[in-house]
Amino acid sequence: MIRLRKIALVLHLLRGLLTCAVLFPWLGVASRQWHIRRWSRRLLRICGVTVEVQGLQPGQAAPRGAMVVSNHISWLDIYVINCWQPVRFVAKSEIRDWPVIGWLCGQTGTIFIERARKRDAHRVLHAITDVMLQGDLVCVFPEGTTTDGTSVLPFHANLMQAPISGGLPVQPVGLAYLDAATGQSTVAPAYIGDLTLLQTLDAILRSPPIIARLCFAPTLSASSASRRELAEAAREVVSHLSQGAQAHAAELAVRVNGEAGTATVREGESGESAASHVPAATP
């Protein structure tokens, strides 16, 4: 059975390559996204993974021009998120050199960053801001590494400057993988430690059916926060979401946005007060 599923995965990968090579050059954005979503759903179905979305109203559209931030557990995360809405991911440049997978990532709009070069972060920040201002969704995994999903690591704040610079919202997302029969967390998809991609794939295929829970909170305003404050607030919201505490996450997001609004008002009042003390210009 597992062997047949592996063959199905290889054939599905070849289908993705063919679609990107032959169809994508001729398709518009909406058609590309339709193919990416369908391909991702099929991949997860072969792997025995079902996606469950929480925190969104039925038919609620994805935000336009925003940064999606999520905890990071597995290479499956990309396809789980793409089942909700195809986005542009930010990934380490080494992935670009992976056979087949690197090429596919490039064709689906991945933005690559050379983490060893500090100056490359500035280039990527400008690229992220530009595409978000054009209406694209950009997804980052601010932990900078994968975990087993039991906790959320501190978020790196560098890339959080992009939504601040563009005055754009941040969409927090919490990911968790659960045993479909028991509802308990499973580490089968976790791509951690010394595990290779193929070892993780074997663990997924040998596991009982899995539910990938994708949990959402209201978007966070980035207008008046520093990137460090925004990263800390986003991490706290994502931490609640990854544990399935969607109500707590929503309350926290509303509180964070309220504090940001209050800060903005105070800044405006300070500006008006300062202006009232400036002498009138004389002719």
pLDDT digit string, tens, across residues 201-229: 999 999 999 999 999 999 998 876 789 99
The answer on pLDDT for 179 being more than 80 is: yes
How far is it, in rounded angstroms, from Cα 25 to Cα 41?
22
Fold annotation for 51-267: Cobalt-precorrin-4 Transmethylase; domain 1 (3.40.1010)
Q: Based on the number of CB atoms within 10 Å of its own CB, is 262 exposed (0-12), middle (13-18) or buried (19 or more)?
A: exposed
Average pLDDT score, the chain = 87
Hey, where are the domains in the chain?
51-267
The answer on pLDDT for 260 being more than 70 is: no
Task: Give me the pLDDT at residue 229, please.
Answer: 93
DSSP 48-94: TEEEEEESS-TTPPPPSSEEEEE----THHHHHHHHH---EEEEEGG
Helix-, strand-, coil-residue percentages of the chain, each rounded to 5: 50, 15, 35
How far is it, in rounded angstroms, from Cα 210 to Cα 204?
8
Check if the beta carbon of residue 128 is closer than 8 Å to that of residue 170.
no
Report pTM.
0.88
Task: Give me the pLDDT at residue 261, please.
Answer: 60
How far is it, in rounded angstroms, from Cα 205 to Cα 196?
14
Task: Give me the pLDDT at residue 53, please.
Answer: 94
Q: Which tokens is 130 given?
A: 């530009």
| pLDDT per position as a tens digit, 53-104 | 999 887 788 888 999 999 999 999 999 999 999 999 998 888 777 777 788 8
Where residue 2 falls among pLDDT bands split at 50, 70, 90? confident
| pLDDT per position as a tens digit, 120-161 | 888 889 999 999 999 999 999 999 999 999 999 999 999 999
